[in-house]
Amino acid sequence: MPDRRTGDDLTAVVAKRVDRGRADLTEITELARAAGYEVTGSLTQTRDQDPAYHFGEGKADELAALVAREDADVVIIDNEVGPYQTFNIGSKLPEGAEVIDRFTLILDIFGQRAQTRKAQLQVELAELRYELPRAEVKASLAKRDERPGFMGLGEYDESRERDIKSQISRIKDELDAIAEKEEERRERRRESGFDLVALAGYTNAGKSTLLRRLADDLDVDENAEKHPDIDTTAESQNQLFTTLGTTTRRANTGKRDVLLTDTVGFISDLPHWLVESFKSTLDSVYHADLVLLVVDASESVEEMREKLVTSHDTLYERNEAPIVTVFNKVDRLSDDDLRRKREALSALAPNPVCVSGLTGDRIETLRGRVEAELPDWKRERLLLPLSDDAMSLVSWIHDNGYVDREEYDGRQVDVEFEAPPSVVERARSRAAEVEREAAGSVESA
């Protein structure tokens, strides 16, 4: 995808067509602002899609007049617009004005926010998948018409399709390698006694604020083994897509040590190719032990219902972990409003936890729910002959599980604890080694 002008001092007109009903420009306006545009005008139309202009031609003329009147740099169309339609609309606009569709805008935002190697690769993969069918259109037109730059789509390079497919293959291989390393890291963390909890939900639902509220002071970076000395706060702003990569922090819910991960927010009407491009980031949700599905409770019931349905479709496709729905931002509505919304959405969210990440209200209730919903731990009791190795093992159990009872009688230590099955198995194995060492010492004496 070619470089695109984004950032400060650029103005945009937003537009949307719907087959029926009334077009809502709220989300596309927020997306445009997140990309750095000042939105100065808007236009909507309700009608079937026109194959030449997407809108009707008369509405396309009206759009061009609006762009001229507002002296806008860009027209942002909240639909997927084909290459022919893009050219036809663009041909009506004042010179220098540009046409971009919803998905190009989203990729622009992702490109601006991508900081890690994984995020950058995912953005590049999405851009290439977006460009591939357009390259195929150019190929078809070039073969049929034999004129370079037919319909303003640009000069066709017959090797471009092959280059795109080759780059897609290379990026997928590199992302697969990153995914393997991250899976190994997840397993090591589980073996160390951590439960993995993922925050999921729509962008701007308040996930990053909730992460800061739940987390301990110690951070865990996505590229680090455990607890590096890095920035102590996850970014929390009233913007879309402030979190593109994953942010993982340690949280204590009581008995359990939890690693809490915030990822990129969901957004409506994303095509399959775009979701697939960010599969590597979503793996932290799909492979979690528990998912907290965060919903903005200050939105209308209709908006909440639509987002819950889409989130369930995304999560239940691959996720096997239990899902707890969290109604966030309850500080913005009355008790009666909250009760009404809970009743209206009971089929989709039968037992939500209602909290305010901003004020901290009912956060302790959420901590308790997290602990209750996590996979069961095993209980174990070990009798160990008193020795340095035994004390080392007891210390390790404290670090990786929850010790209910620890008693000494001068010759042995009696420890009763709860821990993940992998930790219990490793403790048993180490206990057997401690007993063998003690028996060998007795025989030597």
Query: Are 179 and 283 in contact, with CB atoms under 8 Å apart?
Result: yes
281 marked as part of a ligand binding site: no
Rounded distance, CA 148 to CA 159, Å?
A: 14
Query: Are 156 and 141 in contact, with CB atoms under 8 Å apart?
Result: yes
Cα 261 versus chain centre, distance = 9
3-state SS class at 239: coil
Rounded distance, CA 77 to CA 134, Å?
A: 18
Query: Percent of the chain having pLDDT more than 70?
Result: 81
**Between helices 279-286 and 160-191, what is the axis angle to 10°?**
20
392 marked as part of a ligand binding site: no
203 marked as part of a ligand binding site: yes
Count Cβ atoms below 10 Å from residue 395 Cβ, excluding itself: 10
Where would I find the H helices in 146-277? 160-191, 207-214, 272-277
Rounded distance, CA 418 to CA 402, Å?
A: 5
314 marked as part of a ligand binding site: no
206 marked as part of a ligand binding site: yes
41 marked as part of a ligand binding site: no
The pTM (predicted TM-score) of the whole model is 0.67
3-state SS class at 435: helix
Rounded distance, CA 235 to CA 428, Å?
A: 42
Count Cβ atoms below 10 Å from residue 307 Cβ, excluding itself: 21
Cα 288 versus chain centre, distance = 13
Instruction: Kindly give, in sequence order, each residue whose CB lies less than 8 Å from that of residue 372, ignoring residues fewer than 6 positions away.
Output: none
223 marked as part of a ligand binding site: no
242 marked as part of a ligand binding site: no
358 marked as part of a ligand binding site: yes
202 marked as part of a ligand binding site: yes
15 marked as part of a ligand binding site: no
The identity of residue 258, as a single letter, is V
Cα 92 versus chain centre, distance = 38
207 marked as part of a ligand binding site: yes
The identity of residue 438, as a single letter, is A
Query: Are 100 and 39 in contact, with CB atoms under 8 Å apart?
Result: no
264 marked as part of a ligand binding site: yes
| Backbone region of residue 60 per phi and psi (left: phi > 0; alpha: psi in -120 to 50; beta: other values) | alpha
Query: Over the stretch 211-227, which tens digit does the pLDDT of each residue have?
Result: 888 886 434 444 433 33
243 marked as part of a ligand binding site: yes
130 marked as part of a ligand binding site: no
Rounded distance, CA 117 to CA 201, Å?
A: 24
Per-residue pLDDT of the chain (445 residues; tens, 9 = 90+): 444 555 557 999 999 999 999 999 988 998 899 888 999 999 999 999 999 999 999 999 999 999 999 999 999 999 988 888 988 999 999 999 999 988 888 888 878 877 778 878 888 888 888 888 777 766 665 565 554 444 444 455 567 888 999 999 999 999 888 888 888 887 887 777 788 899 988 878 888 889 888 886 434 444 433 333 223 334 444 444 444 557 788 887 877 888 898 876 777 666 666 666 666 667 778 788 899 999 999 999 999 998 898 888 878 767 678 899 999 999 999 999 999 999 999 999 999 999 999 999 999 999 999 989 988 888 999 999 999 999 999 999 998 888 999 999 888 999 999 888 888 998 999 999 998 887 776 555 5
